[in-house]
Amino acid sequence: MRRPSTLVEVLLVLALFGCSPWTVWGSSHCKQTNVKEIRPHSVSITEFGAVGDGITLNTKAFQNAIFYLNSFADKGGAKLFVPAGRWLTGSFDLISHLTLWLDKDAVILGSTNFDDWPVIDPLPSYGRGRELPGGRHKSLIFGRNLTDVIITGNNGTIDGQGNFWWSSFWNKTLDYTRPHLVELMNSSGVLISNLTFLNSPFWNIHPVYCSEVTVRKVTILAPLNSPNTDGIDPDSSDKVCIEDCYISTGDDLIAIKSGWDEYGISFGRPSTNIMIRRLVGRTRQSAGIAIGSEMSGGISEVHAENIHFFDSYTAIRIKTSPGRGGYVRNVFISNVTLDNVDIAIRFTGSYGDHPDDSYDPNALPVIKKITIKDVTGEKISRAGLLEGIKGDKFSDICLSNINLKVSSSFPWNCTYVEGYSEMVSPQTCEPLKDAIFPMHCADCYHLSNHLHSASDRNRG
């Protein structure tokens, strides 16, 4: 973070910290979970006939093992151990009170046969598959209506072998929307940690309609040109904690969502209380942290801190469009370091991309109270490309203590946005030039618990 260099700047910083009307929101849902807690019963996948040669299909072994372990769900739960080996499988479902544990040399491999990934109904908040009308392929690891689920290990690997899916996408030969690596629906008490995710066919980790989800210390990798291989996508979910992760993929590293146009509006489940911290990564196709574009159920109370993006297209992005409805509000992003990034901050109000022709073009999103502060960047092409919607301005955009080394002669381009700024270099655009202090403190969303943040950094 750039330190204030003049007495005036010091006074401004002190004044900003003293804006008492600003909102305070904590991160109590980022609680530690003991992944080594012993389940009363444990079995190895080999006890059910699995063969870890990378050739034998083990879908039935996974299904049978989990069916057996279900009898322990009301007795404290159970653990399924995946030892060293390459375990080829199609989709399989998890159960409540289960720990799926991968040895450090274990690799769960997704089958390269479409038939091993069943087709299931579209999500009600999307109304159809995200890529194609109709259903969608079930994720490799799937769960519905679960509680107390842990997917972890000694940095074992889950490899979706996505290349054949990507080829079908590029060749336009897909019949249904591609699958994720992990999708959990309507579930709570979820922990995903200490694993590497490789080559997902589509999005990697997708908690949807979930509560109390933690994703911690995972590595997510896919080629930088792979299509739509988002890292972690909390979707119509609340109390989500993402921390200490490294992500390098072909699309958004983190994408917060809440349903698509009229289907998301009707379903009406927002994403809220999302914490992202100590995230490192890169993407040449999209953004490090994205909100949207599917945000029709609403997104609020998002806090991200201690972020480092490098060799990337965009760092922070909000994506929406007329027809989305919903809202994005109360977003606080701080302590961001950027290296070799094309666009540091981008808002897109005309993203388009609708599920069908039944959406209401007059359903305008509300984008309000977005605070971005303490950002430094080297080798930045453009500081900001902020494009709101005519007749629907993005409001209360607050930028503070931002210092970017920008190559463009036109570092900021702003349309249909309004807000405030302090200590921004290069100087921000005209609609954001009004000072935050003293008149506009209450217009900015702020997390004032800086002692908490400093304590976290010291522990890290």
Residue 62 backbone dihedrals phi, psi, to 5 degrees:
-65, -45
Distances 442 to 25, 40, 163, 351, 437 between C-alpha atoms, Å = 14, 52, 49, 30, 10
* Vertex 227 angle, CA 225 and 230, to 5°: 100
Identity of the residue numbered 224: L
Q: Which residues are catalytic?
A: 251
**For domain 37-229, which architecture applies?**
3 Solenoid (2.160)
CA 286 to chain centre: 13
Please check the confidence at residue 21 and state whether its pLDDT lies above 50: no
pTM of the model: 0.92
| Dist. CA 28–CA 239, nearest whole Å | 9
| Dist. CA 112–CA 57, nearest whole Å | 10
Residues spanned by CATH 2.160.20.10 within the chain?
1-22+252-460, 37-229
Q: Using CB atoms within 10 Å of the CB of residue 460, give its burial: 0 to 12 exposed, 13 to 18 middle, 19+ buried.
A: exposed
Distances 157 to 71, 86, 98 between C-alpha atoms, Å = 27, 9, 18
The bridge status of strand 271-283 relative to strand 394-406 is unpaired
Give the number of other CB atoms < 10 A from CB of residue 43.
16
- CATH topology (fold) of 1-22+252-460: Pectate Lyase C-like (2.160.20)
What would the pLDDT profile of 270-323 be if each residue is shown by its tens digit? 999 999 999 999 999 999 999 999 999 999 999 999 999 999 999 999 999 999
What would the pLDDT profile of 154-207 be if each residue is shown by its tens digit? 999 999 999 999 999 999 999 999 999 999 999 999 999 999 999 999 999 999
Which range among 39-43, 86-90, 328-332, 334-338 shows the weakest confidence by mean pLDDT?
39-43
Mean pLDDT of 71-100: 96
Bridge partner list, 79 = 42, 99
Query: What's the length of the chain?
Result: 460
Query: What is the predicted pLDDT for the residue at 460?
Result: 44
Nearest to 190 by CA among 63, 35, 76: 35
Whether cis (ω within 30° of 0) applies to the bond prior to 122 is: no
| Dist. CA 242–CA 279, nearest whole Å | 8
Sign (positive or negative) of CA dihedral 164, 290, 275, 310: positive
Mean pLDDT of 367-387: 98
End-to-end CA distance of the chain: 17
Structure-block tokens of residue 233 = 């996508």
Structure-block tokens of residue 174 = 């897909």
Binned at pLDDT 50, 70 and 90, residue 8 comes out as very low
What would the pLDDT profile of 312-371 be if each residue is shown by its tens digit? 999 999 999 999 999 999 999 999 999 999 999 999 999 999 999 999 999 999 999 999
Report yes or no: 352 and 380 within 8 Å, Cβ to Cβ.
no
Contacts of 162 (CB under 8 A, 6+ apart): 110, 199, 200, 201, 202, 222, 226, 229
| Dist. CA 398–CA 23, nearest whole Å | 13
Structure-block tokens of residue 52 = 């870890």
What would the pLDDT profile of 126-145 be if each residue is shown by its tens digit? 999 999 999 999 999 999 99
Identity of the residue numbered 255: A
Q: 3-class DSSP state for residue 417?
A: strand
Binned at pLDDT 50, 70 and 90, residue 153 comes out as very high
Report yes or no: 96 and 71 within 8 Å, Cβ to Cβ.
no
Distances 377 to 289, 422, 426, 441 between C-alpha atoms, Å = 16, 17, 11, 25
Binned at pLDDT 50, 70 and 90, residue 30 comes out as confident
Query: What is the predicted pLDDT for the residue at 33?
Result: 63
What would the pLDDT profile of 250-267 be if each residue is shown by its tens digit? 999 999 999 999 999 999
Binned at pLDDT 50, 70 and 90, residue 101 comes out as very high
CA 278 to chain centre: 13
Residue 60, H or E segment:
helix 59-69
| Between 394 and 21, the higher pLDDT residue | 394
